[in-house]
Amino acid sequence: MESQPILKPSEESLQKFFTDEAQNYQPKPEDIFITIKSGLQQRLIFSKPQVLTEKEEQELQGLRDLINSKGNQIPPGFDNDSRLVLRFLQGMKFNYEETEQALNDNYKWKTEIFPINPSPFENYLQTGLLYAFKRDKGHRPIIIINVERLIASKIDEKNLVDMSNYFLDFLINECMYPSKIENWTVIVDLNNVGLTQIPKNLLQSMISSMQSNYRGRMYRLFAINLHWLLRGLWSIAKNGVDQFTLTKMQLFGGDFKNSVVQVINENSLEEKYGGKLPDKTSNFFPPDLLNNY
């Protein structure tokens, strides 16, 4: 089973994956919450000693009371200092019944797939189709999904999903600092990928797993070098998307630099994404997150 969250990274992880700045970082209000124009907020950092709002405390107790009234229990590993239970409660829009089901589903999923044996997909970890490189301005790991490399790798769906779960679990357990750094920023790069070449099923499987199994981890997602037709469809579809998702997700053709560098310092970004670092071409795993700002 997935190792249980801890409230401080191990000394080995601190040395390998954290600069002094990242270790000592104190999150700003915009790191802790997304706030939309209406004033509504969505939490991004959950672990103690972060202070919960009165509404969050009330909703948590309401969920506990409902589950207890049925003679059931919250699965192990959720209602502790990591507050994973609140991630799911918020993700289910504070619907208690749906949250209970999601918690049980996630617990079952964890017990079935962890620990993951990386042998079947180990070589794919070094292809650069999915990797983390440096940290953004809030010291969140920057995840790159390179769709051109994904296509070239010819990886099958099972190995892709297993590799994604292994990779994300590694980031959470080795590269996050609970109560300070609990999220990631994602760049989905579709450069040199034609409209008909997009591996829709593979991408959907990978991103669906990220959304359903790793609740509340996304800080920003930049989809770049996107075909104009997809951008046009998104401009229509986004009218039915909630404001929190719209704040997190941004889609671009080639005009992405100004938006990306608002979140990621140029010194922590590859040249092809508008930064000053040489493009990453090898040694994709374990992630290189040590950078100077």
What domains can you pick out in the chain, each with its CATH number?
121-273 (3.40.525.10)
Mean pLDDT, all residues of the chain: 93
Q: How confident is the model at residue 293 (pLDDT cuts 50, 70, 90)?
A: very low
The answer to whether residue 283 scores a pLDDT higher than 60 is yes
pLDDT digits (tens, 9 = 90+) for 204-250: 888 888 888 999 999 999 999 998 777 776 666 666 667 888 889 89
Contacts of 245 (CB under 8 A, 6+ apart): none
pLDDT at res. 237? 63
Q: What angle do CA 102, 64, 7 make, to 5 degrees?
A: 75
Give the integer Cα–Cα distance in Å for 147 and 128: 10
CA distances from 223 to 84, 143, 186, 217 (A): 27, 12, 8, 17
> Measuring CA to CA, which residue among 237, 101, 218 is closest to residue 171?
218
pLDDT digits (tens, 9 = 90+) for 108-123: 999 999 999 999 999 9
Give the integer Cα–Cα distance in Å for 34 and 52: 15
pLDDT at res. 5? 46
The answer to whether residue 2 scores a pLDDT higher than 70 is no
> The whole model's pTM is what?
0.93
